[in-house]
Copies of this chain bind each other. A is one copy, B any other.
Amino acid sequence: MTTDIATKTQETPNQNFPPSDSRERFKKFVMDLQDQICTGLEEVDGKAKFQEDAWQREGGGGGRTRVITDGNVFEQGGVNFSEVWGHHLPPSILNQRPEVAGHEFYATGTSMVLHPRNPYIPTVHLNYRYFEAGPVWWFGGGVDLTPYYPFVEDAIHFHQTVKGACDNHHPEYYPAFKKWCDEYFYLKHRQETRGIGGIFFDYLDSRGNLYNGPDPDGLAAQYAKNVGKMDFSWEKLFAFAQSCGNSFLPAYLPIVNRRKDTEYGDRERNFQLYRRGRYVEFNLVYDRGTIFGLQTNGRTESILMSLPPLVRWEYNYKPPAGSREAQLYETFLKPQDWINYKA
């Protein structure tokens, strides 16, 4: 199953090793991205400011957790940066990449979840990360949108912006990573997508296709078939990750600005709180990063800052037929080709 790294190196000598300053460059990118995003969000909020907690990790590394609460726009949200290193990669990673066993690892990234107060503004999640362990390295991450009272034009704008960032690097990226996102952010027990998706990728490296290592979900293998020959050098992939990260504010802020003054009442608020329950269910039941973090003594408060500030559960809720709420379920919680969507 696994590719012999040494052999590949001879075939593609300039592509299989990251530059000597790879860690510093990705770290600077995600720290700058954290700054850029926090500034943009504070501007649109107009009231609340991010509060920062810097923290150190015992085994090596640390981070800066930034939380915004009680804003005009954002009821609660966090934009995190972290950088960790150590001797032992966790089992969840070793299962996916057994060839890294015994190597020291380095990982850095940024992750973000924002819970707006107005039910007409979608919740959004972003995460970009970079790993190195001995001879292997990879990029991962993505961005996805979770509306409560959705608008087709918002879904199209979000996907078009993200697609634009992808298309600058390869036309096969967006369709592959969009599909991966729809499948990853899926609540099996509800038979619903988490929202309208976006993009998701993982273990993206220089192996000559999207991914050819262990693939328990069978997703990567499936999409790799669709992807033609590309330049998967570290530089190209880093440039791709940067484009993705930099497309966040243009993808999200216009939606916030369009919806932030929409009036709403108890009905919309109650539905928003109910739907936030799905976010909790996804993050605690399915999200690999969250579960791994909780079970391996990560910084709990930083991991769970993704959970909403206020959430409702209601037994056997069904949206009224023909309602805006029903429309969410019928159209927006299923994978859709938003780029070509005709209302």
Contacts and interface: CB of A to CB of B under 8 A. Distances in A.
Interface of A: 53, 67, 69, 76, 78, 188-190, 273, 277, 280-281, 284-285, 291, 293-295, 297-298, 300-301, 303-305, 307-316
Contacts of A189: 293-295, 297-298, 300, 303
B315 A69 contact: yes
Contacts of A300: 189-190
Given A188-B297, A310-B310, 19 more contacts: A53-B316, A67-B316, A188-B295, A189-B294, A190-B300, A273-B310, A277-B307, A280-B311, A281-B304, A284-B285, A285-B294, A301-B315, A301-B316, A307-B313, A308-B313, A309-B312, A309-B314, A310-B312, A311-B311
Contact of A315 (B291, B297, B305, B312): B305
Copies in the complex: 2
Chief secondary structure at chain A's binding surface = mixed
Contacts of A293: 189
Nearest to A78: B315
Contacts of A315: 67, 69, 76, 78, 301, 305
Given A307-B277, A309-B314, A312-B310, A294 B78 contact: no
Nearest to A281: B284
